[in-house]
Amino acid sequence: MTSRVRVITTGGTIASRPDPGGTVSVAVPGRDLVGAAGPGVTVEVEELMLTHSFNLTLTDLLRIAERATDPSLDGVVVTHGTDTMEETAYFLDLVLGPDRTVVLTGAQRHAATPDGDGPRNLSDAIRVAALGHGLGAVITMAQAIHAARHATKTHTLALDAFASPGHGPIGHVYGERVHLAARPVRPAGFDLSELAALDARVDVVPVYLGADGVQIAACRAAGARGLVVEALGTGNPTPGVLEEIRACLDHGMIVLVTSRCRQGPALPVYGAGGGAGLAEAGAVFAGSLTAPKARLLLMAALAAEPSTRQALSRVRPHLAF
């Protein structure tokens, strides 16, 4: 039986070449990226856009999701720049049904590099997508397969730039063989029809020694409906940050607390101005979810639900693991 896989191209380093000025820019059409597929796989190519992932907008994200969720396909591959790949992957994971698989891949070396990693990554991604198996969204690069929830870019230049800190990959691709060691845990997400626009403003604010909360006050003044705080350690604020978060909660905003640590969950462990004070004020701790992903989750919930209480009810199942 032949599997039908769509490769949706969006640009990124995998589709880039050096320009006369010496910088690297997207320039390779989607049809030129895909070589011969393996036996039993029919590949169709759709060039959706040709851009670096640092230029993507929330509207672009919805466009990618609309094309990637086509139920007529056995699997989908999205070629994508690595800078924001983990965010697109996580958003797709939130809107994919339980029996769907979308594989994101890209490259760390541009297309004109003699030993570029793009062709191998794309070939591996097509193999993973053809399997189906209802993996949701995954990232496949450097032979590793990472679940969207845990995948993050951990190195700016290395070929194995992606990792799943504290969890590890769910599988690998060895030559023509795909080996799956685990299946992602995926709480019920959102129907794409619920998310006509991701127009609720949700900001991310980092916490650092001596932070006075001025950025949080600016987000509130700018009309943010939600805030994701990338806090210290297990989820601790500074005194100034705690004061401003209390003001946000009094203002009716939703505040999610993540950790700037790359392993371990955010939990309200410490009193005396620590994370316990945030929990007492009404902030919600996001477990092991990173700040960029917590932002997208909250934006989706606010788009789907009319009230703060209902939005939080959609968010909480995703924070429990």
- For the segment 30-66, what is each residue's pLDDT rounded down to a tens digit? 888 887 566 678 899 999 999 999 999 999 999 999 9
Mean pLDDT of 121-134: 92
217/169 Cα distance (integer angstroms):
39
Q: What is the 3-state secondary structure (H, E, C) of 61-114?
A: HHHHHHHHCCCCCCEEEEECCCCCHHHHHHHHHHHCCCCCEEEEECCCCCCCCC
Tell me how far the alpha carbon of residue 203 is from its chain's centroid: 16
pLDDT value of position 181: 95
Tell me how far the alpha carbon of residue 202 is from its chain's centroid: 15
pLDDT value of position 320: 78
pLDDT value of position 133: 80
Percent of the chain with pLDDT over 70: 98
What H or E segment, with its residue span, contains residue 131? helix 118-131
Residue 83: which of 292, 306, 309, 317 has the closest Cα? 292
User: Is 280 in a helix, a strand, or coil?
Assistant: helix
**176 CB-near residues (< 8 Å, 6+ apart):** 38, 127
Q: Could you tell me the pTM of the whole model? A: 0.96
pLDDT value of position 179: 96
205/207 Cα distance (integer angstroms):
7
Question: Catalytic amino acids?
Answer: 13
Mean pLDDT of 221-234: 98
Task: With beta carbons less than 8 A apart as the criterion, state whether 126 and 136 touch.
Answer: no
Task: Give the side-chain half-sphere CA count within 13 A for 243.
Answer: 9
Domains and CATH numbers, the chain: 3-180 (3.40.50.1170), 200-319 (3.40.50.40)
Q: Is 134 left (phi over 0), alpha (psi -120 to 50) or beta?
A: left
- For the segment 256-290, what is each residue's pLDDT rounded down to a tens digit? 999 999 999 999 999 989 999 999 999 999 999 99
Angle between helices 85-95 and 58-68 (to 10 degrees): 50
Task: With beta carbons less than 8 A apart as the criterion, state whether 187 and 96 touch.
Answer: no
pLDDT value of position 30: 87
Give the angle 214-217-222 at the CA atoms, nearest 5°: 125
Q: 289 or 71: which carries more pLDDT confidence?
A: 289
Strand partners, 173: 178
Q: CA distances (Å), 158 to each of 31, 93, 116, 182, in order?
A: 26, 25, 12, 25
What H or E segment, with its residue span, contains residue 211? none
Structure tokens at 136: 């949701």
Widest CA span in the chain:
63
Residue 29 confidence class, pLDDT cut points 50, 70, 90? confident
pLDDT value of position 37: 62
Residue 122: which of 28, 56, 58 has the closest Cα? 28
Mean pLDDT of 102-119: 96
pLDDT value of position 38: 64
Residue 173 confidence class, pLDDT cut points 50, 70, 90? very high
Task: With beta carbons less than 8 A apart as the criterion, state whether 22 and 62 touch.
Answer: no
Task: With beta carbons less than 8 A apart as the criterion, state whether 224 and 299 touch.
Answer: no
